[in-house]
Amino acid sequence: MEPQIAHEAEIHRQHVRLRIPIQVEIDGRRYVTDDWSPGGFGVNADLPGREAGDRFTARLFFPFEDFELVVPVDCRVVYVTEDRARFGCRFLGLSRGQIELFRFIVDAYLSGEIVSAGDLLAVVARGGAEVAVRPLVEEESGGTLRRILGHAALVVAGIAVFGLLALGAYERFFVVETDDALVWAPLVRLEAPVTGEVVEAGPRRPLYAPGDLLLRIDAPDGRTVFLKSPCNCAVIDRPVPPGAFAREGQTVAVLADADRPLVVRAQLPVEDAMDIRVGQRARVFVPGEPEPVLAQVERVDFKPDLALLGAGLPAPPRKAQVYLRPDRPFDFDRLGSLVRVRFD
């Protein structure tokens, strides 16, 4: 049979639509599609109990010479005509294996190629799609061989499904990943040596060299105390704004040393951090970077912030701090960037 091809307006569908005989099973009922594509399908029939926007799981049946291919897919109803004489659905979240399988089938129909069970098994094994190959009514000659091929297809599909499940279980139980991470630098906190008004000692700069004046404290008794930069530092935070009063010992500026390499600080639940070891490898995913940055665990800190514990505030969450040293140094302008960390 030579397939027919129809094109729909681009606003409705981005794929070539094929008028080839496949069936779709929805809610236990089979329908014959009058056109389909790797993006979805249309059926000239009513769809009881479903409206536009509904999501459901369906099964596609592709008939071949002596077997049929069954592919489970997630779908969403795109439209149902007012007279309920026709409906259309779109596929959701197709896996890479399913997309490759659809492309193979479309190419085979367009070229008139004869598809064997072995061809499909090769595509399934390569892409890891969740499918089933079922034999149809066998003819007298070659029936045993076709039955064996059908069983082999089911075994291969089962192995592929088991592999996917095993991979998912490994990802869930053995891989630790967190989005609660950022590019960080060791911080220096400047404290007010006396109680007084905080005043900026000069114009603000991106970096302060060692000995540069940062702030001055004007005490009520007339004394003036100057605070100097202890390093090539960038000001990260000013907890006490200029013009406000600071108590003796209160932090008035938080600095980051620009000469020290940036690290990654990740927060993990204590239960996950217990399995992290110093020297363990990890991958850091940085926004805008095409490839993850490899890193090594440098330190795991299980101590909470004692200042929070003594301030009468609610108990902090049970999280540990994990510090990682990247194999490739970050530029200083990356300081504070949010990243994702995956521990191998």
Whether 63 has a pLDDT exceeding 70, the answer reads yes
% the chain with pLDDT above 90? 24
Give the number of other CB atoms < 10 A from CB of residue 179. Answer: 11
pLDDT tens, position by position, 198-242: 998 888 888 888 988 889 899 998 899 999 888 888 888 889 988
Whether 308 has a pLDDT exceeding 50, the answer reads no
Query: Cα dihedral angle (318, 191, 242, 230), rounded to 10 degrees?
Result: -110
pLDDT of residue 26: 92
Burial class for 200, CB neighbours closer than 10 Å (0-12, 13-18, 19+): middle
In which band, very low, low, confident or very high, does the pLDDT at 309 lie, cut at 50, 70 and 90?
Answer: very low
Identify which has the larger pLDDT, 161 or 221.
221
% the chain with pLDDT above 70? 70
* Run of H or E residues at 284: strand 281-285
Spatial distance between the Cα atoms of 262 and 87, rounded to a whole number of angstroms: 56
Task: State which CATH number among 3.40.50.2020, 2.40.50.100, 3.40.190.100, 3.40.250.10 fits the domain covering 187-257.
Answer: 2.40.50.100
Q: Do 294 and 325 meet the contact criterion of CB atoms below 8 Å apart?
A: no
Spatial distance between the Cα atoms of 67 and 83, rounded to a whole number of angstroms: 36
pLDDT of residue 9: 43
Q: Which residues pair with 214 in a beta bridge?
A: none
Highest mean pLDDT among 107-111, 194-198, 328-332: 194-198
pLDDT of residue 5: 43
Residue type, 21: P
For the chain, the average pLDDT equals 78
pLDDT of residue 11: 36
Q: Region 22-51: what's the mean pLDDT?
A: 89
Whether 10 has a pLDDT exceeding 50, the answer reads no
Kindly report each contact of residues 1-5 with a partner whose C-beta sits within 8 Å and lies 24 or more positions away, as own/partner.
Answer: 2/112, 3/109, 3/110, 5/110
Whether 85 has a pLDDT exceeding 50, the answer reads yes
Q: Region 40-63: what's the mean pLDDT?
A: 90
Q: Region 319-333: what's the mean pLDDT?
A: 88
Whether 128 has a pLDDT exceeding 50, the answer reads yes
4-172 under CATH 3.40.190.10, yes or no: no
HEC secondary structure over 297-338? EEEEECCCCHHHHCCCCCCCCCEEEEEEEECCCCCHHHCCCE
Q: What number does CATH give the domain 176-184+261-343?
A: 2.40.30.170
Identify which has the larger pLDDT, 66 or 134.
66
pLDDT of residue 340: 92
pLDDT of residue 293: 92
Spatial distance between the Cα atoms of 70 and 293, rounded to a whole number of angstroms: 41
Whether 283 has a pLDDT exceeding 90, the answer reads yes
For residue 284, CA distances in Å to 144, 189, 300, 323, 325 come to: 54, 28, 16, 12, 10
Q: Do 288 and 323 meet the contact criterion of CB atoms below 8 Å apart?
A: no
Of 122-126, 258-262, 281-285, the range with the lowest mean pLDDT is 122-126
pLDDT of residue 132: 58
Q: Residue 208 gets which letter from DSSP?
A: B
Q: Region 56-78: what's the mean pLDDT?
A: 85
Identify which has the larger pLDDT, 119 or 60.
60
Q: Region 251-261: what's the mean pLDDT?
A: 86
What percentage of the chain's residues is helix, strand, coil (to nearest 5)?
A: 20, 40, 40
End-to-end CA distance of the chain: 51
Q: Spell out the domain ranges in the chain.
A: 4-172, 176-184+261-343, 187-257
Spatial distance between the Cα atoms of 197 and 242, rounded to a whole number of angstroms: 8
Q: Region 299-325: what's the mean pLDDT?
A: 68
pLDDT of residue 214: 87
Q: Residue 28 gets which letter from DSSP?
A: T
Q: Residue 195 gets which letter from DSSP?
A: S
pLDDT tens, position by position, 164-193: 544 444 445 457 888 889 998 878 888 999
φ/ψ of 256, rounded to 5, equals -120, 130
Identify which has the larger pLDDT, 217 or 136.
217
